[in-house]
Amino acid sequence: MSLFDSLFVALSALRTNLLRSVLTTLGIIIGVGSVIIMVAVGSGATSEIDKQIASLGSDMLVVYPGASRVRGRSAGAGTTLPLSERDLQAIRDKVPDVVAISGYLQGSAPVVYGNMNWTTSIGGIHDQYLTVRDWPLAEGRELTPQDVMSGARVAIIGQTVAEKLFGGGDPIGAGIRIKNVPFEVIGVLSSKGQSSFGRDQDDIIFLPITAARGRIVGRSQVVNDQVGQIYVKFDPRADLKVAQEDVEIVLRERRRIRPGAEDDFNVRNLAEFLKARTAALSTMSWLLGATSAISLIVGGIGIMNIMLVSVTERTREIGLRMAVGGRRRDILTQFLVEAVTLSLLGGIIGVAIGIGGAAIVAFSAEWPILINAQAVMVAMAAAGMTGILFGFFPARRAAMLNPIDALRSE
Amino acid sequence: MSEVATVARTAGSASPALIAAKGVSKIYTMGDQTVRALDDVSLEIGEGEFVAIMGPSGSGKSSMMNLIGALDVPTSGSLSIDGRDISKMSSDELAHLRNRTIGFVFQQFNLLPRTPALRQVMLPLLYASPKPGNAEELARKRLEQVGLASRMDHHPRQLSGGQQQRVAIARALVNNPKILLADEPTGALDTKTTAEIMQLFCDLNEEGITVIVVTHEPEVAEYAHRTIVFRDGRIVEDRQQSGYQRRAAE
């Protein structure tokens, strides 16, 4: 009997018991559906994080001032000696492969333009900051070393700020006031969108670090040339682990930390940090994957069960098929095709429900999703395999029936 | 239906045997006891014969039918169907033999539920290799032959018992078999329908097909030209007859 004829027989047999067929495939439907949702949500998040890593720059280190320890208890970041211009210079001069370097002094302040005002994040930066972050301008010009040296009152604004203060107007050359200090807008950043932490990265104004220090962001009591954090971009060919050690050695030396004493600063590789987050997410995905696998197994057992019932119910039919010339392998194929058809139908419904469910997640949780064809294929293959695996035993049972007994059965 | 044809039919039993059993025994083992269903049976049925196999239950007639139908193989002895010894055949070869040489008709019709008559009749063709390209046409012809031209799309439930048995006969004939093997074909039918179905068998036999009917009803056996009676696994009677019932029906 041809496969096409087997399929026809299988479909009409399944249609005969439509409700039973659908209920039987429920396990497969749930299994496949959850695989699709899980992969869609998981890979959506992963691709989002990958984008973040790319937007951070994968060859970048960030130096934070360390936390002092009081009787073993951490007092929080920045409670020790802040990082200064001299630390920055030491890194630039002594660590190999530095491509660009910048301080980052962080604050926030209300900004006024005409009768519009908006409170936003302020970043005091050196001229190389945008290079470090791979963050191009949409229009205008970048900071020059001259701007930083002289503490020029110029500002580069993010897309969100531009929109809030200027609407559709051209901000270049406009005068804005930050904490009542006048600044001239010289550039507008290209949009970077939300960070993986949900922060709007375009809601920001960059100023020369020298202009921001003291006037906009509070001056440190300890050093008068603090730089907040230091962003260092390395040559892409450089080994970031080695670079990280180099930075630590240079800083320990400059900050005169005795051998054996703890660092009073932290060097972090943000890309690594985000990758760790991705890894946590994929662990989660595996867990969900295991759940789906269990669901598929349960679904498979359901199919096996119903196929056994079907074989028993149709013993006479099997006998007849044998009497009119059906070989054992014809009977085996027929029931196997029926089981696989059942599981694949469940798979198709599961994929549809999965895609629908993922879309609902995307819509209601504003979570990025990614439906990939690979996941759909894997899920369908898993469903098909389930059908073959769990359909084989009942099909074999049918094929091994004695035609005489089968014909005689009630 | 002429006298000449009847005579020719009777003479046909002398032609080379279509079915030849030599010293056939069939022994079933049930737990630690064995049942000798057929005991050293020898038998020849020629092409074109119309044979009734009779006997009480447990006489071995069903076992004989299973062997003639190539549903089973003998425990000892040899049984050849259409010149081939089935005792050494694999299950696939037996399936092929059943498909090409034998058409089965059952007491309970054994039609597939919720399947139109035309597809019922096509069933044996699906298992034929190569599958004929004109399967549907062949099935149509057979349904017309059994007088069901207007019932091709009917499901078993929409057909009377006699009509269902006609569908089953069309199915048995569709692969153009040499043997039509009927197991109590009228057991589920009333007297009038029984006569109609038996008449159909007679007509088919006239056209040359070998008909073997297993029955316990003497009225049914009387349509045949030859009656073989089994008892306790042996043939106790094998007689030729004129088939007068058929002529009486005409």
In this prediction the ipTM stands at 0.89
B227 touching A, CB under 8 A? Answer: no
Decide: B95 and A326 in contact? Cβ < 8 Å.
yes
B142 touching A, CB under 8 A? Answer: no
Decide: A226 and A232 in contact? Cβ < 8 Å.
no
CB contact under 8 A, A327 and B123: no
pLDDT tens profile B208-229: 999 999 998 999 999 999 999 9
pLDDT number for residue A269: 85
Distance from CA of A13 to the nearest CA of B (A): 9
- Number of helices (H) and strands (E), helices first, in chain B? 9, 10
pLDDT tens profile A292-314: 888 888 889 999 999 999 999 99
* Distance separating alpha carbons of residues B110 and B105, to the nearest angstrom: 8
Decide: B211 and B180 in contact? Cβ < 8 Å.
yes
Contacts of A319 in chain B (CB under 8 A): 110
* Distance separating alpha carbons of residues B132 and B174, to the nearest angstrom: 11
B 8-67 residues with CB below 8 A of A?
66
pLDDT number for residue A65: 86
Decide: B17 and B81 in contact? Cβ < 8 Å.
no
> Domain locations in chain A?
3-52+275-408, 81-263
CB contact under 8 A, A330 and B127: yes
The SS3 assignment for B111 reads coil
Helix (H), strand (E) at residue A266:
strand A265-268
Following DSSP, what letter does each residue of A12-65 receive, concatenated?
Answer: HHHHHTHHHHHHHTHHHHHHHHHHHHHHHHHHHHHHHHHHHHHHH-TTEEEEEE
pLDDT number for residue B10: 45
* Distance separating alpha carbons of residues B25 and B233, to the nearest angstrom: 8
The mean pLDDT value for B136-147 works out to 93
Of A5, A316, A327, the CB nearest to B95: A327
Contacts of B177 (CB under 8 A, 6+ apart): B100, B101, B102, B103, B209
* Distance separating alpha carbons of residues B241 and B244, to the nearest angstrom: 8
pLDDT tens profile B4-19: 444 444 444 444 689 9
Which domains can be identified in chain B, with CATH numbers?
3-249 (3.40.50.300)
Neighbour order of strands in the sheet with B84-85 = B33-46, B17-30, B76-81, B84-85
pTM score, whole prediction: 0.69
Contacts of A307 (CB under 8 A, 6+ apart): A335, A338, A339, A342, A390, A391, A394, A395
Contacts of B124 in chain A (CB under 8 A): 324-325
* Amino acid at site A249: I
Q: Which of A324, A334, A402 to mutate to test the interface with B (most CBs of B within 10 A)?
A: A324
* Distance separating alpha carbons of residues A36 and A33, to the nearest angstrom: 5
Helix (H), strand (E) at residue A254:
helix A240-254
* Amino acid at site B38: L
* Distance separating alpha carbons of residues A253 and B11, to the nearest angstrom: 122
pLDDT number for residue A73: 60
CB contact under 8 A, A324 and B127: yes
pLDDT tens profile B38-95: 999 999 999 999 999 999 988 999 999 999 999 999 999 999 999 999 988 999 999 9
Radius of gyration of chain B from its Cα atoms, rounded to whole angstroms:
18
User: What residue has token string 């009486």?
Assistant: B248
Contacts of A329 in chain B (CB under 8 A): 92
Report which of A6, A398, A334, A326 is spatially closest to residue B95, judged by C-alpha positions: A326
Quick one: A188 exposed, middle or buried, by C-beta within 10 A (0-12, 13-18, 19+)?
Answer: buried
* Distance separating alpha carbons of residues A77 and A65, to the nearest angstrom: 6
Contacts of A317 in chain B (CB under 8 A): 110, 112
CB contact under 8 A, B96 and A325: yes
Following DSSP, what letter does each residue of B15-28 receive, concatenated?
Answer: SSEEEEEEEEEEEE
CB contact under 8 A, B96 and A327: yes
pLDDT tens track, chain A, 410 positions? 788 888 888 888 888 888 988 888 988 998 888 888 888 877 777 777 777 676 666 788 999 887 655 555 655 555 578 899 999 999 999 999 999 999 999 888 999 998 888 999 999 999 999 988 888 999 999 999 999 999 999 999 999 999 999 988 889 999 999 988 999 999 999 988 776 566 788 999 999 999 998 778 877 777 888 888 999 999 888 888 899 999 999 999 998 888 888 888 888 887 777 777 667 777 777 777 788 888 888 889 999 999 999 999 999 999 999 999 999 999 999 999 999 999 999 999 999 999 998 888 888 877 777 777 888 888 899 899 999 999 999 999 999 999 999 998 87
* Size of the A and B interface in Cβ pairs below 8 Å: 63
Report which of B48, B60, B184, B164 is spatially closest to residue B110, judged by C-alpha positions: B164
A 308-327 residues with CB below 8 A of B?
316-317, 319-327
Of B91, B98, B127, the CB nearest to A1: B127
Beta-carbon count within 10 A of A32 CB = 33
B131 touching A, CB under 8 A? Answer: yes
* Amino acid at site A62: V
Q: How many alpha carbons lie under 13 Å from residue A118 in its C-beta half-sphere?
A: 21
Beta-carbon count within 10 A of A253 CB = 11
Contacts of A327 in chain B (CB under 8 A): 91-92, 95-96, 127
- b or e along B205-220 (b: 16 or more beta carbons within 10 Å of the residue's beta carbon)? bbeebbbbbbbeeeeb
A179 touching B, CB under 8 A? Answer: no
B123 touching A, CB under 8 A? Answer: yes
B127 touching A, CB under 8 A? Answer: yes
For residue A211 the two structure tokens come to: 């202009």
Contacts of B149 (CB under 8 A, 6+ apart): B143
